[in-house]
Chain A
Amino acid sequence: MGITDIIVSQDFISNILAGFTHLTWQSIVMLFIGGILLYLGVAKDYEPLLLIPIGFGCILANLPLTELIHVPREGYVFHDSVRDILANAGLLNLQEGVRLVDEGILDVLYNAGIGNELFPCLLFIGIGAMTDFGPLLQNPRILLLGGAGQFGIFLALLLALALGYDKLEAVCISIIGACDGPTSIYMTSKFNPALLGPISVAAYSYMSLVPIIQPPIMKLVTSKKEREMTMSYDELKPVTQTTKTLFPVVVTIITLLIAPTGAPLMGTLMLGNFLRESKVVGKLVKSAENEIASVSTLFLGLTVGSTMNGDVFLTLKTLGILLLGFIAICGDTAFGVFGAKIMNIFSKVKINPLIGAAGISAFPMSARVVHKVGTEANPHTYLLMHAMGVNTGGQIGSVLAASVMIAVITALQGMGIVL
């Protein structure tokens, strides 16, 4: 066969253009979704630190034949993995249809840090080091708003059960309502790993979409006059350094005695905060809040984005999960605001109801959103640090809510009750 014959042959053309010929409608839709995420991050400045890696990961994973990521989907065995070696030794029969593949670079990242929750926990050390619990300690009653914000979890749980999701599936879906990616991943890998992809994507997408989802809800449930309200920082007495230093240690011990399963999240968050408040390891604090947080955010976003594979993602179940997660977060926002309004009925010092919306775990995005909406209504409204107090309350609240749910389910299962 001459060189010209080879070039014009059908096989040559389809092989050389394999990337194009393997494009499916699912991958095209997902490339489009990845593009939207990049657009929102770059042009609209919506949480670019998360949306850019997620969007790029989504595009990478959905370009055909790149073989960058196979997990968390079933049906793949890696060369030289334990299963491959056992199969070669004749000790294990691989199921039919299982493909033997090389581990892609994103598989490596997934197994190193998402499947076992390491990246979220590393990020939590950074978040702890960045978090000043001062505003919460100055005004401890706003911790209650962190509880009101968890309402969305229970709303989503009831709705998921009503829609016919299996009980444990419903629990995993409902925790998206905490708007807490690491906690969602923890719950899902414990009770229903098959849903890990859609749930982590829903949780992280909504976390990053908080700046888009929350403001309309906040405006819907408040009047302009309520949003304009200023909150003073004067009556808040500064807390002593001793209190701030002891706080992370005390919280760790108390919450982990109540809910030991929350240890990876609460432990790393409070470790980071203790580094900060101890005031003697400035170097570590700097690394935790800059290098460690940046690197884990990059790998976390990239890997989570790359689990958004069209075949798995574009299903009815995912749509249901996305919808329920969305309702849960809207519910959190609205009920947080109502919580703040109820608190205003009973207390002398009024609070701007907007800060109730920060009672979720999306930290510190949610507090920033509250601040922005407040400033829009009135340039002299500075809600950031008040909202930050509620936001840290929400963070502690969601980890506690999840830990308590895990503790209850484990106890029921331990009693032999099939859920």
Chain B
Amino acid sequence: MSTPVSAPMAGKLISVDVKVGDKVKKNDEVATLEAMKMFIKVFAPADGIVASIDAEADATVDPSTVILTLK
């Protein structure tokens, strides 16, 4: 089962902090957003392995943007 990790809110994607194949646990930090001059961590919604990175750093993201997919 794959779990898409969407941007929790509108902002700029600063970095994706995991690589394809990385094992992540629920609540691990997987990406960093910037909004209102504040860095905001995106946390994994579930345990899994990073299947793909779907957004690029510096992109403007919102809740409809999938940043990465876990499986």
Contacts and interface: CB of A to CB of B under 8 A. Distances in A.
9 contacts: A233-B63, A364-B36, A364-B37, A367-B36, A368-B36, A375-B41, A379-B43, A385-B9, A385-B10
Size band of the interface chain A makes with B: 10 to 19
Given A233-B9, A233-B63, A385 B43 contact: no
A385 B35 CA distance: 8
A382 B9 contact: yes
A367 B35 CA distance: 11
Given A233-B9, A233-B10, A234-B63, A384 B38 contact: yes
Given A132-B36, A233-B63, 10 more contacts: A130-B36, A233-B10, A233-B62, A234-B63, A364-B36, A368-B36, A380-B43, A382-B9, A384-B9, A385-B9
Nearest to B45: A380
B25 to A, nearest CB: 12
Interface residues of B, number: 14
Interface string A125-149: 0000010100000000000000000
Interface in A354-392: 364, 367-368, 371, 375, 379-380, 382, 384-385, 388
A33 to B, nearest CB: 27
B62 to A, nearest CB: 8
Contacts of A132: 36
Interface string B24-56: 000100000001111011010100000000000
Nearest to A236: B63
Contacts of B43: 379-380
Contacts of A375: 41
Interface in A378-419: 379-380, 382, 384-385, 388
B50 to A, nearest CB: 18
Contact of B40 (A130, A234, A384, A388): A384
B58 to A, nearest CB: 17
A414 B60 CA distance: 54
Contacts of B41: 375, 379
Nearest to A367: B36
Given A234-B63, A385-B9, A379 B35 contact: no
A384 B9 CA distance: 8
B10 A388 contact: no
Contacts of B36: 130, 132, 364, 367-368, 384, 388
B16 to A, nearest CB: 17
Contacts of A382: 8-9, 40
A135 to B, nearest CB: 9
A135 B43 CA distance: 23
Contacts of A385: 9-10, 35
A390 to B, nearest CB: 13
A195 B9 CA distance: 43
A364 B34 CA distance: 14
Query: Among the interface residues B27, B36, B38, B41, which one has the most CB atoms of the partner chain A within 10 A?
Result: B36
